[in-house]
Amino acid sequence: MGEASISRSTPPDLRVTSISCGSSHSLALLSNGVALSWGRGEDGQLGHGDAEERKKPRAIFHLMQANCSAVCSGAEYSLALSRGSNEVYSWGWGDFGRLGHGDCNDVFIPQPIKALAGRNIVKVACGDTHTLAITDTGELFSFGRNQNGQLGLGTTSDAILPQPVESLRGLKVCDISCGAEHSMALAGNGAVYCWGWGAYGNLGDGHREDRCAPVKVLGLEGVKVTSVACGWRHSIAADETGVVYTFGWSKYGQLGHGDCTDQLVPKAVESLKDSRIVLISGGWRHTSVADDTGMLYSWGWNKFGQLGIGSNADSNAPVLVLGFGTSPVKLLSCGWRHTFAVTEAGDVFSWGRGVNGQLGHNEPKDTNSPVRLTELSAGSIRLEDLGATASPLTTYVPPADRYAVVPDHSDAVPENSHGIGTVPEMPATKKARS
């Protein structure tokens, strides 16, 4: 395949405009629409056409013409949004239909989700094995695994194609987030809804039960929430005054209340009451937020240094993260065991687990403090070094015996259906995560 038609010169103001962390991989988007990936690639989640790890960022060749506007990482899969071409692309581990292509195949090169074509998708969210997407009119779609009702469709049947979440129709959903097996949505009126796995109180409805349809989160009456985020099994919300609320699982202190007690309804993080929180992000067992001055705080599990506080000690209360210089933090993303931040000046920092190269520093090691990723920092970005002017290294096609599940023909989706199909439970044959 020939070279993509992109300028070989690097604009002087080129910078990262979107960042997203998965379980062991990372994605970034440059201001010129070039999408990049690095880290673990076993399931095709990097989109380079092979199953290799990348220890430093590399441009995704097959998205070079897409002019992407956002990127989003799931556990072992990835999505990219192109507002210009009105397409959503997905790739990686495809079990349970979480890629939205109507089957359960792994995908090693980004493919457009045909069922979402032309729907004006403005935001996507990825969980472990399920995906959400909202349109410019606030209509919500979901697809993927649904054993705990995390798709919000009123059933526990998996969906291999995007489905409208009918019970939220008319509420104009404006923000979404996915946990491991639960989901959050913010309506235009500031109300928050959750559904899916609820055993730790992470749905915020005062109970520990799963919900297969959206339920309104309690305890936020009179509060105008402006953003929502999910950790693995905990939930986070911030309101228009900058108060941050957390609820759900707290075994590692990831709720930030100074203890390790689960919360069944939202509780304000008191130690941040004098800060106006504007960025929130949830990891596997940790949480990070930033205030309107760009100060970053983290708390929760810290075995691999993912809190960025210079040690590996867990914290059940917010701790200030240092090391960004004088420029405020403007972008933030927590992965399962690693974290990224981007400052207003365009400097990119990463910390936490690095064994699969997900920190991007070309060496597979952990770090417990923020380390500047020069290759992606403004003023140091060179498109040729990121592979943005090169041909793809391979046109790899995964072998037939690669682990993938394809629905039996007897489960084929009728043409007049909404595309909901069930997928059999899958044996745990994947390599254990580290």
Residue 420, pLDDT > 50, answer no
- Average pLDDT of the residues in 112-139: 97
Residue 131, pLDDT > 60, answer yes
- Looking at the domain assignment, is residue 159 inside a domain? no
- Average pLDDT of the residues in 185-214: 97
Q: Which domain holds residue 60?
A: 12-128+377-407
- Looking at the domain assignment, is residue 367 inside a domain? no
The burial class, CB within 10 Å (0-12 / 13-18 / 19+), for 403 is middle
- Average pLDDT of the residues in 88-92: 98
pLDDT per residue as tens digits for the range 32-58: 999 999 999 999 999 999 999 999 999
pLDDT at 414: 35
pLDDT at 388: 86
Pairing mode of beta strands 211-216, 225-230: unpaired
Q: Which comes out higher in pLDDT, residue 294 or 399? A: 294
- Looking at the domain assignment, is residue 41 inside a domain? yes
Contacts 24+ apart (CB under 8 A), 10-17: 10/381, 10/382, 10/383, 10/384, 12/379, 13/378, 14/378, 14/381, 14/383, 15/342, 15/346, 15/377, 15/378, 15/381, 16/331, 16/342, 16/346, 16/348, 16/376, 16/378, 17/331
Residue 363, pLDDT > 50, answer yes
Q: What is the DSSP string of 103-126?
A: S---EEEEEE-GGGTTS-EEEEEE
- Average pLDDT of the residues in 308-329: 97
pLDDT at 85: 86
Give percent of the chain with pLDDT exceeding 70: 88
- Looking at the domain assignment, is residue 133 inside a domain? no
- Indicate the average pLDDT of the chain: 90
- Looking at the domain assignment, is residue 395 inside a domain? yes
Interacting residues of 356 by C-beta distance below 8 A, sequence separation 6+: 24, 25, 39, 40, 53, 364, 434
Pairing mode of beta strands 140-144, 87-92: unpaired
User: Structure tokens of 218?
Assistant: 């309690």
- Looking at the domain assignment, is residue 270 inside a domain? no
Task: Indicate the number of domains in the chain.
Answer: 1
Query: 168-172, 209-213, 390-394, 401-405: which range is least confident on average?
Result: 401-405
Query: 6-15, 69-78, 188-197: which range is least confident on average?
Result: 6-15
- Looking at the domain assignment, is residue 146 inside a domain? no
259 within 8 A of 269, measured Cβ to Cβ: no
pLDDT at 83: 82
Query: 2-16, 87-101, 219-233: which range is least confident on average?
Result: 2-16
pLDDT at 324: 96
347 within 8 A of 366, measured Cβ to Cβ: no
- CA torsion through residues 59, 62, 68, 71, sign: negative
Residue 112, pLDDT > 50, answer yes
The torsion angle over the Cα atoms of residues 144, 150, 152 and 155, rounded to 10 degrees, is 80
pLDDT at 110: 98
pLDDT per residue as tens digits for the range 1-31: 333 334 445 677 899 999 999 999 999 999 9
- Looking at the domain assignment, is residue 85 inside a domain? yes
Give percent of the chain with pLDDT exceeding 90: 85
- CA torsion through residues 398, 402, 408, 413, sign: negative
pLDDT at 434: 47
Give me the amino acid identity at 87: E
Residue that has been written with the tokens 């989706």 in this structure: 413
- CA torsion through residues 151, 152, 153, 157, sign: positive
Residue 409, pLDDT > 50, answer no
Residue 410, pLDDT > 80, answer no
CATH code for the domain in which residue 38 is found: 2.130.10.30
116 within 8 A of 133, measured Cβ to Cβ: yes
- CA torsion through residues 136, 239, 214, 80, sign: positive
pLDDT at 392: 65
- Average pLDDT of the residues in 429-433: 46
Cα–Cα distance measured from residue 208 to residue 128, given in angstroms and rounded to the nearest whole number:
20
pLDDT at 6: 42
